[in-house]
């Protein structure tokens, strides 16, 4: 039997206020908040957006969600973990909190505090044993691992390396400490074909790890410093830089799924998921600076199963467009790999029952 996935429809013309009202109906009619115990420490996990990015979840919708969460517990907080990118405002907790405030995620506007879960520099983690194919243990951000429950809010997007940026990615990559993120990306080092390089330097300017250097006017990657983010390949206009596709991206997705399993284990399975299929972009909120939609808005989904809610999200996108929209956006990546592996190791179920609210 499939997992329940609750759904409320939105469209491109809906105002933020109208979407908030629909979100309230979804939360009230679903069982999404049953994971929250009375006055338990509950993290509301989301992506606060990068500087200059407006694709993140609207703070008004987060405020609406929090209003319902606070009926269950007075110990809720917004949270995320620090990123690997050295030139990001989300690379340390102080700047990370500042960008969250600038985007409307302050205690004054939302009603609950914000905690960056892995410390000032991303070094605070809890080891969670999982004994899977790639990892025997994973490194989950300490303040997430300490939660009694977790509510994962995800802006669904495409993704250059994983094909899909959904609940599984928000859980697996987003709940990892910086070292945990590195473990997942390790091995995804791009190839360079210097015969196509014109020496423009965009790759070096865009490298968050500062590992791209030029020698005799030609680029070279310092592999020991590369974090495998793929940004150099994204910005290269002459196709001189490409990711080593083969099995590497499937492995990255599998590692991400194993980290998601670790996050679930850390909070004893008490996790709910809300996916926003609103302004779906080709790239994730780390890269998509005010990018255009790649499909229409569909609505908001809620479930207790991360695999089911991600599969339902993709089905909504593809059903209307009658093509694999995410595969078209990022043809080098098979998003299905993460869902298959997640189902194989028991993270969730690709079968689902859709419940309209």
CB 197 within 8 A of CB 219: yes
Query: For residue 287, what pLDDT band results from cuts at 50, 70 and 90?
Result: low
pLDDT at 315: 95
The answer on pLDDT for 150 being more than 80 is yes
Task: Map out the domains of the chain as residue ranges.
Answer: 3-184+248-356, 189-242
The answer on pLDDT for 245 being more than 60 is no
How far is 269 from 305, CA to CA, in rounded Å? 10
Give residue-wise pLDDT tens across range 161-204. 888 999 999 999 999 998 898 788 877 778 899 999 999 999 99
Mean pLDDT calculated for residue range 233-261: 84
Give residue-wise pLDDT tens across range 56-90. 999 999 999 999 999 999 999 999 999 877 668 88
CB 357 within 8 A of CB 8: yes
Question: Domain 3-184+248-356 belongs to what architecture?
Answer: 3-Layer(aba) Sandwich (3.40)
Give residue-wise pLDDT tens across range 344-356. 999 999 999 999 9
The answer on pLDDT for 293 being more than 90 is no
pLDDT at 86: 64
The answer on pLDDT for 247 being more than 60 is no
Give residue-wise pLDDT tens across range 94-126. 999 999 999 999 999 999 999 999 999 898 999
CATH code for the part of the protein at 189-242:
3.30.70.20
* CA-angle at 8, arms to 318 and 301, nearest 5°: 65
The mean pLDDT value of the chain amounts to 91
First to last CA, the chain: 20
pLDDT at 265: 98
Of these ranges, 166-170, 247-251, 315-319, the one predicted with the greatest mean pLDDT is 166-170
């Amino acid at each position: 039997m499939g997992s329940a996935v609750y759904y409320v429809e939105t469209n491109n013309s809906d105002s933020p206020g109208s979407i908030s009202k629909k979100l309230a109906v979804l939360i009230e009619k679903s069982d999404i908040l049953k994971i929250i115990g009375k006055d338990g420490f509950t993290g509301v996990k989301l992506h606060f957006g990068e500087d200059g990015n407006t694709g993140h979840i609207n703070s008004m919708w987060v405020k609406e969600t929090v209003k319902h969460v606070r009926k269950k517990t007075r110990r809720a907080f917004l949270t995320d973990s620090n990123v690997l990118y050295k030139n990001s405002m989300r690379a340390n907790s102080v700047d990370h909190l500042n960008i969250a405030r600038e985007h409307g995620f302050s205690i004054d506007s939302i009603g609950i505090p914000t905690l960056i879960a892995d410390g000032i520099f991303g070094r605070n983690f809890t080891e969670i044993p999982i004994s899977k194919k790639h990892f025997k243990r994973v490194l989950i951000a300490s303040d997430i691992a300490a939660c009694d429950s977790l509510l994962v809010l995800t802006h669904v997007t495409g993704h250059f390396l994983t094909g899909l940026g959904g609940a599984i990615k928000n859980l697996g990559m987003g709940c990892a400490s910086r070292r945990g993120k590195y473990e997942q990306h390790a091995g995804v080092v791009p190839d360079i074909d210097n015969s196509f390089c014109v020496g423009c330097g965009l790759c070096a300017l865009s490298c968050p790890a500062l590992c791209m250097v030029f020698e005799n006017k030609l680029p070279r990657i310092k592999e020991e410093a590369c974090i495998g983010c793929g940004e150099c390949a994204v910005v290269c206009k002459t196709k001189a830089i490409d990711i080593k596709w083969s099995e590497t991206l499937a492995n990255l997705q599998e590692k991400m799924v194993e980290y998601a399993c670790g996050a679930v284990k850390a909070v004893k399975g008490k996790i709910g998921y809300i996916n926003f299929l609103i302004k779906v972009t080709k790239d994730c909120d780390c890269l998509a600076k005010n990018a255009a939609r790649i499909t229409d808005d569909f609505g908001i989904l809620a479930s207790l199963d991360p695999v089911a809610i991600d599969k339902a999200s993709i089905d909504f996108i593809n059903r209307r467009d009658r093509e694999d929209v995410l595969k078209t956006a990022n043809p080098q990546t098979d998003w299905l790999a993460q869902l298959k592996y997640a189902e194989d190791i028991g993270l969730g179920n690709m079968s689902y029952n859709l419940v309209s609210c």
